[in-house]
Amino acid sequence: MTRTTTRKFQNPVSFSQAVDLLKSGEVCAFPTETVYGLGADAFDAGAVLKIYQTKDRPSFNPLIVHCAHMNMAEKIVRFSPVARKLASFWPGALTLVLPRLQETRICDLVSAGLGTVGVRVPAHPLAQELIKAVGRPLAAPSANPSGRLSPTSVGQVRHAFNDRVAVLDGADCAAGLESTILGVEEERVVQLRSGAITRREIELLLDTEIEIAPANTAISAPGMMVSHYAPKAKIRLNATRAEAGEAFLGFGGAGGTAGPLTKNLSPGGDLAEAAHNLFGFLHDLDATGASRIAVAPIPAAGLGEAINDRLSRAAAPRKVETVPE
Ligand code: TXA
Ligand code: MG
């Protein structure tokens, strides 16, 4: 069970209410261009603890710190020349895991005791304004109970926490998939999580191939643990049609039979549209009460890498020992 206050919020809250909550050490959910985040002042250990409690997240799974601009990020982590180059994706859907500066005011709980911190500058204007108004970097995981689907709309956040968490409304998230996470040690770049910025875009910028961390390897990259992003329904991948009792999530020409239990991520076969719709449609099909969702094959190229990653995690058996986000 997630632990939230007994207080119910009149959601969505106003911008000034969101600022007041965050300044007074409370959590508040806010929109980013990827998914909604559950934010707290990254300097305030008490506030950050509330994120872990609200999500029921294991405290050894570190949080991403959201900054308004490069200057703010430079006070938290050390940028190698390659990391600086990668920061040209900012503001945007890229998280860089970099060595933590000794003098940073980020509390230890944010990075779960690791010597690195994941930082990103989100592109959503409200996220930027919020960080500036609070005047502090905001630690924020996706605004879902641990192990569940990331929310891409204000309604999904409200539903997930039953309005016991304040939410700032920034409309539906444009990308709909979480940020791409790269670990950077000097020259070495390792993709820890595929996401809204494709590997191809990154490799084009660096003019070299990057490493991909093998799935489910180290605790230094807990985001890679297998069972994540899970709806309540089971997931069956690479399905050509729904079996009895199943909902169907189609793609392109494999759209399934029209009906309340069927959705098509992108009838025209556009991967950006599919990414944008992915979590929302999984939420919707889950809400029908179907015990299983059959999913059409999705091409692996470009954004298909991240879409297939999330789907295979959603389909993974839910073992007790896996670490949810
Ligand atoms: O798009 C996103 O990245 C969204 C929005 C809100 O910014 N955030 C998000 O946060 O997806 P979260 O906590 O759900 O996923 C972040 C992942 C976690 O799996 C965590 O393990 C990994 O990033 N992470 C954070 N800091 C890390 C670090 N220092 N080293 C390795 N992995 C780290
Ligand atoms: Mg998450």
pLDDT digits (tens, 9 = 90+) for 40-85: 999 999 999 999 999 998 877 899 999 999 999 999 999 999 999 9
Tell me which CATH homologous superfamily contains domain 15-212.
DHBP synthase (3.90.870.10)
For ligand 1, atom 17: residue with the closest CA: 223
pLDDT score, position 322: 45
How many angstroms is it from 4 CA to the middle of ligand 2? 18
How many angstroms is it from 254 CA to the middle of ligand 1? 32
Q: What are the extents of the domains in the chain? A: 15-212, 234-315
Q: Is pLDDT of 238 > 70?
A: yes
How many angstroms is it from 136 CA to the middle of ligand 1? 18
Q: How far apart are CA 98 and CA 130, in angstroms?
A: 24
83 lines ligand 1 (CB under 6 A): no
Average pLDDT for residues 32-47, to the nearest whole number? 97
Q: CA torsion, points 13, 17, 19, 20, in degrees to nearest 10?
A: -140
Q: Which of 113, 123, 120 is nearest to 91 (CA)?
A: 123
Q: Tell me the CA distances in angstroms from 300 to 25, 35, 156, 297, one per residue in order.
A: 42, 22, 27, 9
- For 86-122, what is each residue's pLDDT tens digit? 999 999 999 999 999 999 999 999 988 889 999 999 9
* Whole-number CA gyration radius for the chain: 19
191 lines ligand 1 (CB under 6 A): no
For ligand 1, atom 12: residue with the closest CA: 141
Tokens of 297: 């094959």
Q: Is pLDDT of 323 > 80?
A: no
Q: How far apart are CA 131 and CA 136, in angstroms?
A: 6
Q: How far apart are CA 249 and CA 247, in angstroms?
A: 7
> Which atom of ligand 1 is nearest to 118's Cα?
26
Q: What is the mean pLDDT of the chain?
A: 91
How many angstroms is it from 221 CA to the middle of ligand 1? 9
Pocket test for ligand 1, best of 55, 60, 63 (most atoms within 8 A of CB): 63
